[in-house]
Amino acid sequence: MKKLLSFLTVFAALAMCLPAQAQNILTPTWLRYLANGSAGPYSCSSGTCLLGDERWFSSFNVSAGATVVSKANNGPFIIRSTGTCTVAGTISNSVNTAGGGGVLNRGDLGGAGGGGGGGTQAGAAGLNGAADQQLPVVIGGTAGVAGGGTGGNAASPTPSQYHTLLSSGTQWPVGGATGGAGGGNGAGTAGGTGGNGGGPVILICNTINFTGTIDASGAPGQPAPANNTGAGGGGGGGYVILSAVSFTANTGTITVGGGTGGSCGSFTGCGAGGNGGNGWIYFQNIE
């Protein structure tokens, strides 16, 4: 069901890891729709489980020690459940978790990508976050200039952008944007690649019991591989939305920070990559 986000009140995640705190406001339509549970119960009890896109379960469980990784690159992880969603383990839509993909593309309302550092050649600018009409709204970091210029840090989305853009209700969630690549040495050696953005994680359930971890962070840019090459920019952080009629626990940890820019190490003629922008977190009691 590819439609996004009626009017929301959200807050920016200014730190890499944030403890959960619930909010109480009138619930937008899309955030109170629990679907019909047609896919039955789901449980990941151990190891790593792959899941992605939008799923309609009668209950959803991630046990302590287990990890559910989104398999849908460049897209969201959305769970709707008529029953209880229990997250004691980990949910990830980030390449920072083994097997995770995140976003290798332009983002939407997550953090933008950091700029790639310059080598002999200029680096690439970090990718932007785009609105429903494909207009850039969250601006990526500037490219490092040729000759070892440093890549610029990316922007993080602001509350005014959420309020204006999320009210359209037509955009499919994407997440944070990819960081720019570092500049090459002009002799066949490319710079470090930019980090993937973090993808959205969205749970809309009758009850949420959250004591585990959710990771929607952007990936770090890759370091410069040689003299006269630039390092990659960090990927933008994604966003996490938890919406429920009731929360039996909401004490887990959520990570939506942007990835750090890649470093030059001991290489000369190198510009470091810029940091990716941070994402955001939103909690909703369904009313």
Q: State residue 21's pLDDT score.
A: 38
Contact 9, 23 (CB under 8 A): yes
What pLDDT does 24 receive?
44
d(CA 235, CA 237): 7
Which pLDDT does position 169 carry in this prediction?
A: 53
Q: In 3-state terms, what secondary structure has residue 238?
A: coil
* Residue count of the chain: 287
| Per-residue pLDDT at 148 | 98
What are the structure tokens assigned to 248, written together? 């039996």
Of 277, 227, 257, 256, which is closest to residue 117 (Cα–Cα)?
Answer: 227
3-state DSSP assignment of residue 160? helix
Q: Which residues of the chain have pLDDT under 50?
A: 1-25
pLDDT at position 215:
97
Q: pLDDT at position 281, please?
A: 92
Q: Collapsing DSSP states into helix, strand and coil, what is residue 236? A: coil
Q: Which amino acid is at 144?
A: G
Residue 240 in contact with residue 198, Cβ under 8 Å? no
Q: Can you give the pLDDT at residue 272?
A: 98
pTM reported for the whole predicted model: 0.89
Determine the pLDDT at residue 287.
81
- CB of 151 within 8 A of CB of 122? no
